[in-house]
Homo-oligomer: A and B are copies of this chain.
Amino acid sequence: MSIVLASQSPRRKELLAQMGLEFEIIPAKGEEKADPSLPPAEYVQQLSLQKAAEVARRCAPDDVVIGADTIVVLDGQILGKPRDAAHAFEMLSGLSGRCHTVYTGLALLRGGEQRLDAVATQVRFRSLTEQEILAYIATGEPMDKAGAYGIQGMGALLVDSIQGDFYNVVGLPVCRLGRMLARFGIKIL
The answer to whether A60 has its CB under 8 Å from any CB of chain B is no
User: B175 and A18: CB pair below 8 A?
Assistant: no
- Kindly list chain B residues whose C-beta atoms are within 8 Å of the C-beta of A160: 165, 175
Q: Which residues of B contact A157 (CB under 8 A)?
A: 19, 174-175, 178, 188-189
Q: How many residues of A contact B (CB 8 A)?
A: 32
Whether B175 lies near A165 (C-beta < 8 A) is no
Judged by a CB distance under 8 angstroms, whether A38 is at the interface is: no
Q: For the complex formed by this chain, how many copies does it contain in all?
A: 2
- Give the distance in Å from the alpha carbon of A20 to the alpha carbon of B135 in the complex: 12
Could you tell me if B163 and A161 are in contact, using CB atoms closer than 8 angstroms? yes
User: Which residue of chain B is the closest to A166 with respect to CB atoms?
Assistant: B166
Q: Does chain B have a CB within 8 A of A153?
A: yes
Q: Chain B residue with minimal CB distance to A174? A: B156
Q: Which of B154, B164, B175 contacts A158 (CB 8 A)?
A: B175
Q: How far is the CA of A188 from the CA of B158 in the complex (A)?
A: 11
B-contacting residues, A135-187, CB 8 Å: 135-136, 139, 151, 153-154, 156-167, 174-175, 178-179, 187
- Among A121, A126, A188, A189, the one with the most B-chain Cβ atoms within 10 Å of its Cβ is A189
Chain B CB within 10 Å, residue with most, of A136, A158, A166: A166
Residues on B with C-beta less than 8 A from A132 are 189
Kindly state the separation between the CA atoms of A141 and B166 in the bound complex, as whole angstroms.
Answer: 19
Which residue on chain B has the smallest CB distance to residue A137? B189
Which residues from chain B contact A189 at a C-beta distance below 8 Å?
132, 135-136, 154, 157-158
| A-B CB proximity, top 3 nearest | A166-B166, A135-B189, A157-B178
Other A-B contacts than A19-B157, A161-B163, 7 sampled, CB-CB below 8 A, are A132-B189, A135-B189, A136-B189, A157-B188, A159-B175, A161-B165, A162-B163
